[in-house]
Amino acid sequence: MTDTTASGRRLPDRLDTPLKSAVRSWETLLVLVAIGIFIANSIASPYFLNAWSLSDMTFNFTEKALIALAMALVIITGEIDLSVASIIALASTLMGLVLNQFGAPTPVLVLVGILTGLACGAFNGWLVTGLKLPSIVVTIGTMSLFRGIAFIILGDQSYGGYPRDFAWFGQGYVWWVISFELVLFLVAAVIFYVLLHHTNFGRRVFAIGNNATAAQFSGVRVDRIKFVLFCLTGLMSGITAVLLTARLGSTRPSIAQGFELDVITMVVLGGVSILGGAGSIIGVVLAALIIGLVTFGLGLLNVPGIVMTIFTGTLLIIVIALPILWNMWKARQA
């Protein structure tokens, strides 16, 4: 976001052959890392290779990954949304509010959660595109604002007593070990894959990220697309609020604290350029899987959560730094 114009991208004289570029692609690297961690986990813990264990593993990442899908598009256009976790807090609080004040049934709860997310996203989008403000500052502001409203409503209290059919969204299984959350994530991943890589809309998202001015002159409605993307991120945060609230069965204003950094870590690890203009949904899905595998594997080894964050933080820096070091080394050889 901040140093977008420092250096231009160079176009190569000759493109790699499809096979060669596939081998050298970011996704291949991520697949190898994922396989490596999977094998390491299987060796390290006897409890890992088990259908139910692996099913539990998916709960570690599906909620964050749902937001990461939309966040990837936002970051590809060169913007960022730091308010996603606070949107979850506000949406969850409002769901608890309508439940406790009016005894709203499950469909209304879900609707309230999703619409709150959408409204928050639209507010972000309006500030960024309507008032032309930098998204990083706007969303730092709304990050405080949205969670702040949740704190005003709830204070140090909590909401609970969610109905049993509501809990299914976070705890239910569609078939055998396949959870509803996982199915929802896979469906969303396919939708976002098609949206980003096989539609005009997706091409425009990349065009904006590479050169917003050129895109504007080519007839791309830059502001409208950015607005839609912020709405989309809000929507996914609202959906995640439903899942998370249903899974935990209670709401506190501090719910989902720190999620935004995990989501952005997933997106960046997935090969999306933080400067905009490049990235793929497959990469983001793989990165989500890797983070899920790492945290679950470490959890089986009784590693505390705070230490796991060292692993994800280090993984983030190393995976970004390695290709750069490799290119520098190669440039020195030549």
Partner 1 sequence: MNRLLKTREIWLALAILAVIVLVTFRFPRFSQPANLLTIFNDTSILMMLALGQMAVILTRSIDLSMASNLALTGMVVAMVNAAFPMIPIPLLILGCILVGAALGAFNGILVWKLDIPSIVVTLGTLTIFRGLVFIISGGAWVNAAQMSPAFIQLQRGSFLGLPILSYFAIAVAILVYILMTRTPQGRAFYAIGVNPTAAVYTGIDVGRTKFLAFVLSGAISGLAGYLWISRYVIASVEVASGYELTIIAACVIGGVSIAGGIGTVAGALLGALFLGVVNNALPVIGVSPFWQMAVSGAAILIAVILNARGESRKGRIILKKAEVAA
CB of 170 within 8 A of CB of 248? yes
Shortest Cβ 187–partner 1 spacing (Å): 29
Gyration radius of the chain's alpha carbons? 20
> Would you count residue 268 as binding partner 1 (CB under 8 A)?
yes
- Touching partner 1, residues 81-110 (CB under 8 A): 82
* Cβ proximity to partner 1, 143 vs 229, nearer residue: 143
- Touching partner 1, residues 123-152 (CB under 8 A): 127, 131-134, 136-138, 140-149, 151-152
> Would you count residue 164 as binding partner 1 (CB under 8 A)?
no
Interface pick for partner 1 out of 248, 261, 278, 300 (rule CB under 8 A): 261
d(CA 101, CA 108): 13
> Would you count residue 294 as binding partner 1 (CB under 8 A)?
no
> Would you count residue 8 as binding partner 1 (CB under 8 A)?
yes
CB of 120 within 8 A of CB of 110? no
> Would you count residue 317 as binding partner 1 (CB under 8 A)?
yes
Interface pick for partner 1 out of 35, 43, 174, 310 (rule CB under 8 A): 310
Interface pick for partner 1 out of 275, 282, 284, 285 (rule CB under 8 A): 275
d(CA 139, CA 136): 5
Q: For the packed helices 62-76 and 281-300, what is the interaxial angle rounded to 10 degrees?
A: 150
Shortest Cβ 34–partner 1 spacing (Å): 19
* Cβ proximity to partner 1, 134 vs 172, nearer residue: 134
> Would you count residue 302 as binding partner 1 (CB under 8 A)?
no
Helices (H), 103-163: 106-125, 135-154
Helices (H), 270-334: 281-300, 305-333
Tell me 255's DSSP state. T
- Indicate if the alpha-carbon torsion angle 283, 141, 210, 324 is positive or negative: negative
- Indicate if the alpha-carbon torsion angle 164, 169, 170, 172 is positive or negative: positive
Q: Which residues pair with 315 in a beta bridge?
A: none
> Would you count residue 12 as binding partner 1 (CB under 8 A)?
no
> Would you count residue 161 as binding partner 1 (CB under 8 A)?
no
* Cβ proximity to partner 1, 72 vs 82, nearer residue: 82
> Would you count residue 7 as binding partner 1 (CB under 8 A)?
yes
CB of 42 within 8 A of CB of 48? yes
Q: Which residues neighbour 24 within 8 Å (Cβ) at sequence distance 6 or greater?
A: 16
* Cβ proximity to partner 1, 13 vs 156, nearer residue: 156
Tokens describing residue 332: 């020195």
Please give the residue ranges that form the binding site for partner 1 (CB under 8 A). 1-3, 5-8, 80, 82, 127, 131-134, 136-138, 140-149, 151-152, 154-156, 253, 257-258, 261, 264-265, 268, 274-275, 304, 306-310, 312-314, 316-317, 320-321, 324-325
